[in-house]
Structure 1
């Protein structure tokens, strides 16, 4: 279940079209002081990354660290990305169109951080990383 305050925050940021440093302080210090605790929060923040047209590098860094920490160390089995978690991550980050540049970073960093990852996420991360390296618009759907 998503905290209503987090939902309100994301709605406000999406409407504004940008996230400020002050917004990041509120997000980290007040709304998610213990980090992401449920998948719905992760999904909401991943969607916020896609919804905000002007990316804030500090938000991208926050989001990558928060999603990696949650997926690798908050989900069970700890330290491993199993098939079910890999499918959830690929679907959430990819959103049917392919990941944002930040989403591609998230996938790659999760694979790096985890002791082992299901092949679904590894393949997704490699494809996303390749598209970013080639300068391909990562918003377009990744080839299966």
Structure 2
């Protein structure tokens, strides 16, 4: 194909395809998604320009097939995680770019955009704390306001935490990226407390009570500054969180089992088991609730002057898992029984 001047005609780009699709105002069909995939992955390189084009198409809010809702977050995740150097690490600049894209109109307006943020967190080995906080706060704000769709496209009921939203919160907390790695951070625990306070009288999903108690207890007892294991290993922590009474032996017991080592066992020639032994010993030491941690928890629980059921569950869980409860917590512990 040649241009009017006889030279070769420029090959259409993804930007051209997106511009034509938006101009036509047509539904995004499966064939369109296949074409998009060829543009994006045909040269095995996903570029920043292609990411911007995808956001323009998403922002057009055209009716679309399910395959588009799968492609968009996956492609954004590949761009920001797998097509950067070093691979697997999201920079502060790219995290800020992503947040800017999904908040261009003042808030996350589609499930696609939130899913894109979650995909980045789940794919990354490490991501800025700002991105994880953004995702967590976005889900919490949507729960409180009822403004925004769930992943299933249903309207949210303001002030009520559904099963779907508990799973979104769980995905953010244990994505294997962002600040803290395995341990829940103080900032994350603060968001969870704010959400709990805002929905305390609501008919929330039963799963919320468990997630709240165990996630905040994780912040209280787990190590800070600990370098997390690979993502697939870190995500296994959900096996412990799912147990009704906590993992046998508490947090230290969980890691002892996971890595095959423990502080009281003979040193192994297996470096993975040795790592587990060292981690188990350090985590056991950090299970102790300190005066600072106790003061933070007392302040958070006491803000409305009441002790609610989720807070009682949190206190009971800490009492069960921590070998040494700070005396300042005893009055609250007694009320929780």
| Cα pair 1:45 1:63 within 8 Å, conserved | yes
Can you give the 5+ residue segments of structure 1 that lack an aligned partner in the other structure?
Answer: 139-144
| Cα pair 1:68 1:110 within 8 Å, conserved | yes
Structure 1 residue 131: Cα displacement: 4.6
Instruction: Work out the CA distance in 2 between the residues paired with 1:22 and 1:56.
Output: 10
Change beyond 3 A, Cα 1:98–1:34: farther
Instruction: Work out the CA distance in 2 between the residues paired with 1:81 and 1:90.
Output: 12
Higher relative contact order structure (alpha carbons within 8 Å, sequence separation ≥ 6): 1
Higher radius of gyration, 1 or 2: 2
- Aligned counterparts, 1:1-144, within 5 A: 4-15=12-23, 16-29=25-38, 31-32=39-40, 33-34=42-43, 37-99=46-108, 100-131=110-141, 135-137=146-148
Instruction: Work out the CA distance in 2 between the residues paired with 1:133 and 1:77.
Output: 36
Q: Determine helix, strand or coil for the equivalent of 1:81.
A: coil
RMSD of aligned residue pairs (Cα, Å): 2.2
| Cα pair 2:28 2:62 within 8 Å, conserved | no
Instruction: Work out the CA distance in 2 between the residues paired with 1:46 and 1:98.
Output: 14
Instruction: Work out the CA distance in 1 between the residues paired with 2:136 and 2:102.
Output: 14
Structure 1 residue 132: Cα displacement: 5.3
> 123-132 or 110-119: which moved more?
123-132
Instruction: Work out the CA distance in 1 between the residues paired with 2:76 and 2:22.
Output: 19
Quick check: which one's helix share is greater? 1
Instruction: Work out the CA distance in 2 between the residues paired with 1:60 and 1:72.
Output: 19
Can you give the 5+ residue segments of structure 2 that lack an aligned partner in the other structure?
Answer: 1-10, 150-337
Instruction: Work out the CA distance in 1 between the residues paired with 2:35 and 2:91.
Output: 32
Q: Which string of whole-angstrom CA distances, capped at 9 and with x for unpartnered residues, describes residues 34-55 of structure 1? A: 4562212101101211103323
Change beyond 3 A, Cα 1:11–1:114: same
Instruction: Report the TM-score when normalising by structure 1.
Output: 0.80
How many residues in Structure 1 have an aligned counterpart in Structure 2? 135
